[in-house]
Structure 1
């Protein structure tokens, strides 16, 4: 539906922007708007802020980047937080952040659809409760990781053990003594495999594609910090060559472990395909020692385990799908004005991608993590302030 149709549902006209999603991205936009004196309304279908972090992450999760690169705008982490805050510390920070800026989301409010109503020149958002919200500005903040990706393998329905996506995984203690197949070798797959081993389970990790594994730190410095510093002075490909050389120096030839490196460098691959390199926190040593076994791609799931593309067959007690998440924007945003791809990601690369047409914005969809979301939030607040104070303005440079 490209244009909202009139109906009998009650409509609540909002004086400020409507933000869909109360995760870090939505909170960042609301805070930046509050800082310039613009009230906003945040709709959140769950019962809390940062529901992904609170309900869909495993217990041992920590931020992968140093805390200064994960802060939201206008408020840093408490002084006593470690370099890499834990999941629970990050959640407490987000709750304090919402309180500090007076952000009170409407919890339990699921958006069914949103479309631009040309008759009134505003966005009309329908919710499952039957109430319409209408605003001149709509900010999409549901994030890149709104819905779990669950692949379909032949025979999955006949597997006799547990099948769990990482969104429902909490601790390896739930799998003690079990032989577990972890499907996926990204940061989640690596960390879940590590957690399983530390809880006396026997992890086998499926590595179907190539993957870059980098040390989380180099010579006492965060790899991310080193990378950002080098990119100020050197071409991206030289930085990639340096990162791969350091990884080889510290890890050796990971190809021999079944972890083949892509032909493109880690930063070039992230920029082109959005594929984030794995930052190792201990799993690689366990792969080298054989305590985490690397398996080739899954060909078929059997009643008792799995068959693999190299002809091997193994029995497993459980399967954990570390297969990531995807955007759900296309399921509810009826008129994206060319802002999103068909996969629900920003069409324009960072530092653009945050601004669409007719008062539509998105935050946190350029695969740049919390740092990118903060950048988007600041730009959105500036742009809405400009448009509110000068309605005839049609453009703000995306700096």
Structure 2
């Protein structure tokens, strides 16, 4: 039987949340090990994002603990620069990682007072066992791509890609392309396709709030001064009316009844940051199809409202889902059935028996920042009596 490797803290996931927790623990003198399924830290930013992506939040809201972005850095960091920032962050704080390790199970042994974690080295297929007093789930909300079941989609004769595989509109000039999904990725990919000369359509089934980066930065600043969400909502919607010219519904983009900032705080939905998509919708360069996809027959897509249109390619901007519940054996209520934090902010991050989660409450990079500080502070406090006793016994 393999002997478990003893660690103080095991962190699952080397994205922004995982390495932030590890760094904050390191600064408090607590040793941790990060297990990561991919072959690099921050793999989302390197392997599952489109080329033109820039962070939607200004750099002051997009830094990890103890490492603000440089003054000369652009206000909205491009994807590759943020990926380099994550590399430098992990190196600066000597984050210990084991890459290409897929966690298959993790459960708490009450008799031993330890979390027992089983992982597989994907390079060799070798099974590895770890034991730790604390376990941090930081595998992210964008863990596994979600592809909806659409009758006939598998026989579509053109190209079908998930947004995770889309990089640019190169080679699609003059092609009819359908983007399925109207979140931030879908709307920005639609813009990218139209800019590249594709005949672009986007399926918009849901209501959404459309804002600009600048408007959302104002909202974030006001929230930092503890301005009530309902006041922020009113100000944001007033600014949106000025920028977007009134009712976006006449162009197929219906706003929810609940305000954008309240929606962000109370639901999983994010406002859509407009990068120029709405202008192309108004000019007709991007066609809005206000219904979900019902079926596909040949190259013709049928929508829920009965309309049918032919396409050469389809981009599925249909999001991701967490896989935590497949490997985490815990029923203490910290992680919900969807693999995300079951409790609302700010009570979301700590469970029982030394279990924590980071980056699973849909608060973006600034959520990773606060989760890391809370978790590292709590663990170091719990270890303090043990450390004090050890130091005293050595005198």
The interval holding the TM-score normalised by the smaller chain is over 0.9
Instruction: Report what 1:11 is aligned to.
Output: 4
For normalisation by structure 2, the TM-score amounts to 0.93
Within the candidate set 269, 272, 277, 1:275 is matched to 269
Asked whether the 8 Å contact 2:222–2:232 carries over to 1, the reply is: no
Instruction: Report what 2:230 is aligned to.
Output: 237
SS at match of 1:137: strand
The alpha-carbon deviation at position 245 of structure 1 amounts to 2.0
CA gap 1:310/1:104 in 2 versus in 1, 3 angstroms? same
* 1:299-314 alignment, distance < 5 Å: 299-314=294-309
SS at match of 1:127: strand
Give distance in 2, aligned partners of 1:367 and 1:46.
22
Instruction: Provide runs of 4+ in structure 1 moved above 4 Å.
Output: none
CA offset digits 1:112-146 (Å, max 9, x no partner): 01000122110000012311000000011101111
Asked whether the 8 Å contact 2:281–2:288 carries over to 1, the reply is: yes
CA gap 1:174/1:132 in 2 versus in 1, 3 angstroms? farther
For normalisation by structure 1, the TM-score amounts to 0.92
Asked whether the 8 Å contact 2:32–2:96 carries over to 1, the reply is: no
Give distance in 2, aligned partners of 1:39 and 1:83.
34
Give distance in 2, aligned partners of 1:313 and 1:269.
33
Give distance in 1, aligned partners of 2:278 and 2:134.
47
Structure 1 gaps of 5+ residues are 1-7, 393-399
Within the candidate set 373, 377, 380, 1:382 is matched to 377
Q: State yes or no: 1:126 paired with 2:118.
A: yes
CA gap 1:315/1:149 in 2 versus in 1, 3 angstroms? same
Asked whether the 8 Å contact 2:219–2:236 carries over to 1, the reply is: no
* 1:129-208 alignment, distance < 5 Å: 129-208=126-205
Instruction: Report what 1:395 is aligned to.
Output: none
Larger displacement relative to structure 2 (292-301 or 63-72): 292-301
Larger displacement relative to structure 2 (301-310 or 161-170): 301-310
Asked whether the 8 Å contact 1:231–1:239 carries over to 2, the reply is: no
How many residues are paired up? 380
The alpha-carbon deviation at position 31 of structure 1 amounts to 0.4
SS at match of 2:264: helix
Instruction: Report what 1:372 is aligned to.
Output: 367
* 1:309-328 alignment, distance < 5 Å: 309-328=304-323
CA gap 1:95/1:193 in 2 versus in 1, 3 angstroms? same
Q: State yes or no: 1:259 paired with 2:256.
A: no
The alpha-carbon deviation at position 91 of structure 1 amounts to 0.4
The alpha-carbon deviation at position 289 of structure 1 amounts to 0.3
SS at match of 2:177: strand
Give distance in 1, aligned partners of 2:224 and 2:79.
29
Instruction: Report what 2:390 is aligned to.
Output: none
Structure 2 gaps of 5+ residues are 121-125, 388-395
